[in-house]
Every structure is written in C-alpha cells, then in structure tokens.
C-alpha cells in the first residue's frame, strides 16, 4: 500500500474496483462487527469492478480495512 486519497465520488467511481454500502454497514465493518468479505457475499456491501484484482490483492484490501478500523472515530449517530 502506498497512499490513501480522499476524493470526490466521480473520481472514486473510476477506480479499478469500488466497495460501497450504507453508513450503518460500514460502521459495522469499522467496528469489526461484520467481516467485509462475508458482508459482500451477503449483500450487505456492494462491489463493482474487477473481483480478480481484489482477490489477488486481498492482503492489501484487508489491511486497508484493518487500518480504517483503527482510526479513532466520532460516529454522527452517536455524537
């Protein structure tokens, strides 16, 4: 992993793959209440794009999600 980038929706959607979902689902992932792979297969999250690329880089994808989980967060619905 080289970098994080915060960008607008249009740029994000041009990526090789995009994982998306409701706020409540991402919150569950970030709190490690839901595994992201299981969430995808169960329709709780969505994936658009090159699945083989995701799988080939699954360690990195999981690492990114792990790092997201480590960020101290103030949840809007809990503030």
Partner 1 sequence: MAYDQDLAFVYFGPTKIVFGAGAARDVGMEMTGLGCGRALVVTDPGVMKAGLVEGVLKALGDRCVGVFSDITQDTGVGIVNRAAAFAREKGADCVVSVGGGSVIDTGKGICILLTEGGGLENFEGIQLLTRPQTPHIVIPTTAGTGSEVTCIAVILDERKGQKMLIVENFNTPRIAILDPKMTEKLPPLLTASTGMDAITHAVEALQSVQREPIADGLAMQAIRLLHRHLPVCTLNGTDLAARGQAQLAATMAGWAGGNAMFGLVHAMAHSIGAIARVPHGIANGILLPHVMAFNRDDAAESYAMVAEAMGVRERGMDEREAADAAALEMGSFLRRIGHPLRLSETGAKEEDLVKAAALSLSDGAIVNNARLVLDDEEVLAVYRAAF
Binding mask 21-40 for partner 1 (x = CB under 8 A): -------------x--xx-x
Q: Please pick, from the candidates 11, 16, 46, 63, the single residue that binds partner 1 as defined by CB under 8 A.
A: 46
Three-state SS for 56?
helix
Nearest one of 61, 57, 48 to 16, comparing CA atoms: 48
Q: Please pick, from the candidates 12, 13, 31, 49, the single residue that binds partner 1 as defined by CB under 8 A.
A: 49
The answer to whether 41 contacts partner 1 (rule: CB under 8 A) is: yes
Distances in Å between the Cα of 13 and the Cα atoms of 8, 28, 35 are: 9, 23, 23
Residues in the chain: 79
Name the site residues for partner 1 (rule: CB under 8 A).
34, 37-38, 40-53, 55-56, 58-59
């Amino acid at each position: 992993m080289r970098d994080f980038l915060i960008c607008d929706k249009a740029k994000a959607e041009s990526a090789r793959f995009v994982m998306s979902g409701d706020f409540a689902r991402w919150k569950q992932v970030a709190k490690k209440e839901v595994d992201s792979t299981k969430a995808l297969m169960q329709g709780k999250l969505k994936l658009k794009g090159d699945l083989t690329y995701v799988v080939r880089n699954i360690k990195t994808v999981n690492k990114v999600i792990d790092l997201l989980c480590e960020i101290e967060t103030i949840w809007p619905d809990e503030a």
